[in-house]
């Protein structure tokens, strides 16, 4: 018999872009409404590279979610020049939960990212020592690599050697998109986990070209072919505890998406937990949702599970065509479509 209501421990979003300024004010409440905590990405312009910048950003986020209990979990943006001292300060800070590796040029605001991971070995050694996780955007960036192969090549050329050099380093392989990544994480030691986005579960690359070019289905890492989508769906059906919820909700103004050179990023925070619930139900895996959304993440990060619960009801509702993004417009994931779970 299919369920008409589920109550689960309040979930957390382990990969989120909150932006800054008026965009932050527009979008942060969507996340605070559903999630207790979120790992906040540091790819602002300029990036959040120091503990001091992170605490300032934290204050701006807290102002945007005033009146809620939402707890932002901050990250630092790793550069070629991040010092081991900054890692010590981050660990002492208590509110910084990870350090993000953007290979230089891989995605939005990654220009200040790492040009060669070996330049960071002293810093990574310190992270391994103090137990601060490395959050990885896992794509190789050399211009001759096929865009659909970037994740697979990254595993071979960067991630495997990195794990050999730092076998105890805690790593979150963010927003995985391929069977190779799912297999790599499944077969690795317990200190490697991964996040999975709603879009990579729901779609494959056909969605970007359905009847024309679909900029609102464009994100990085880009959607892959059907076999990879199927591998990610198999992961969530399996209930493997190394995989957890990370929306990668990444808003860009409509004008920046619907453009001759459109930005990468899909905004899903408006309905994230509802969309995941629909996907899990469709996979006959609704019983696995709570662990994926609410247990596996905190367990990996060594944080307590949330004590509150949320209730989702089986109820159709239509996602709006757009939301305000400061003075601009934002087209949300699944705009105009009907979904069948709603946060009570």
Residues in the chain: 344
Active site members: 248
For the bound state, the minimum distance from the C-beta of residue 122 to ligand NCD, rounded and expressed in Å, comes to 26
CB of 281 to Zn ion, least distance (A): 26
Strand order in the sheet with 171-173: 13-16, 37-40, 71-77, 96-101, 134-136, 171-173, 192-196, 243-245
Shortest Cβ 137–Zn ion spacing (Å): 7
When CB distances are held under 5 to 8 angstroms depending on the partner's kind, the choice from ligand NCD, Zn ion, none that residue 220 binds is: ligand NCD
Interface residue with Zn ion among 71, 248, 281, 290 (CB under 5 A) is: 248
The CB-of-48 to ligand NCD minimum distance in angstroms stands at 12
Burial of 299 (0-12, 13-18, 19+ CB in 10 A): middle
Give whichever of 263 and 312 is closer to ligand NCD, judged by the CB atom: 263
Nearest CB to ligand NCD, comparing residues 158 and 306? 158
Pick one of Zn ion, ligand NCD, none as the site partner of residue 265 (Cβ within 5 to 8 A by kind).
Answer: ligand NCD
- 43 interacts with, out of Zn ion, ligand NCD, none, CB within 5 to 8 A per kind: ligand NCD
Tell me the closest approach of the beta carbon of residue 280 to Zn ion, in angstroms: 22
Q: Which does 171 bind (CB under 5 to 8 A by kind): Zn ion, ligand NCD, none?
A: none
DSSP code for 118: G
Structure tokens at 176: 């995985």
Residue 31 structure tokens: 């996340």
Q: Name, in order, each residue with C-beta under 8 angstroms of 91's C-beta and a sequence gap of 6 or more.
A: 130, 131, 132
Which residues are registered as beta bridge partners of 75?
Answer: 98
Cβ nearer to Zn ion, comparing 246 with 298 = 246
Cβ-based nearer residue to Zn ion, 126 or 216: 216
- Please identify, using beta-carbon distances, which residue of 89 and 208 lies nearer to Zn ion: 208
Backbone angles phi, psi at 310, to 5 degrees: -125, 155
In the complex, minimum distance from the CB of residue 263 to Zn ion, in angstroms, rounded to a whole number? 12
What angle do the packed helices 226-238 and 272-282 form, to 10 degrees?
A: 90
Q: Contact at 8 Å (CB) between 225 and 269?
A: no
Burial 221-252 (b: 16+ CB within 10 A, else e): bbbbeeebbebbbebbeeebebbbbbbbbbbb
Q: Which is nearer to ligand NCD, 36 or 219 (CB)?
A: 219
CB under 5 to 8 A by kind: which of ligand NCD, Zn ion, none does 107 bind?
Answer: ligand NCD
Nearer to ligand NCD, 250 or 273 (CB): 250
Residue count at the site for Zn ion (CB under 5 A)?
1
Binding site for ligand NCD (CB under 6 A): 17, 43, 107-108, 137, 219-220, 248, 250, 264-265
Q: How far is CA 211 from CA 147, 206, 214, 321, in A?
A: 22, 10, 8, 19
Q: Min. distance of Cβ 77 from Zn ion in angstroms? A: 12
Please, are residues 113 and 78 in contact by the beta-carbon 8 Å criterion? yes
SS3 75: strand
What distance in Å separates the CA atoms of residue 127 and residue 344, rounded to the nearest whole number?
40
Point out which residues bind Zn ion (CB under 5 A).
248
């Amino acid at each position: 018999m299919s369920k008409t209501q589920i109550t689960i421990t309040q979930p957390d979003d382990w990969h989120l872009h909150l932006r800054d300024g008026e965009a932050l004010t527009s979008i942060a409440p969507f996340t605070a409404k559903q999630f207790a905590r979120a790992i906040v990405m540091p790819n602002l312009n300029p990036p959040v590279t120091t503990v001091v910048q992170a605490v300032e950003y934290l204050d701006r986020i807290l102002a945007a979610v005033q009146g809620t209990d939402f707890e932002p979990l901050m990250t630092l943006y790793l550069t070629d020049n991040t010092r081991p001292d900054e890692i010590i300060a981050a660990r002492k800070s208590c509110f910084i939960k990870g350090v993000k590796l953007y290979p230089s040029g891989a995605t939005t605001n990654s220009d200040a990212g790492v040009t060669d991971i070996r330049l960071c070995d002293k810093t990574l050694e310190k992270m391994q020592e103090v137990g601060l996780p490395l959050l990885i955007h896992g794509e190789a960036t050399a211009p001759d690599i096929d865009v659909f192969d970037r994740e697979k090549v990254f595993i071979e050329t960067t991630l495997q050697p990195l794990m050999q050099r730092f076998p105890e380093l805690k790593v979150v392989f963010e927003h995985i998109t391929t069977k190779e990544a799912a297999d790599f994480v499944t077969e690795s030691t317990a200190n490697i986990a991964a996040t999975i986005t709603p879009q990579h579960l729901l779609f494959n690359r056909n969605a970007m070209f359905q009847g024309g070019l679909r900029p609102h289905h464009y994100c990085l890492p880009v959607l892959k072919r059907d076999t990879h989508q199927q591998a990610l769906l198999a992961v969530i059906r399996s209930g493997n505890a190394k995989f957890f919820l990370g929306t990668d909700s990444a808003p860009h103004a409509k004008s920046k998406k619907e453009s001759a050179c459109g930005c990468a990023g899909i905004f899903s925070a408006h309905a994230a937990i509802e969309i995941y619930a629909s996907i899990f139900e469709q996979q006959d895996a609704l019983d696995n949702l709570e662990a994926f959304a609410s247990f596996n993440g905190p367990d990996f990060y060594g944080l307590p599970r949330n004590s509150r619960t949320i209730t989702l009801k089986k109820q159709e509702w239509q996602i709006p065509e757009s939301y305000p993004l400061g003075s601009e417009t934002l087209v949300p994931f699944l705009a105009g479509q009907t979904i069948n779970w709603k946060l009570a």
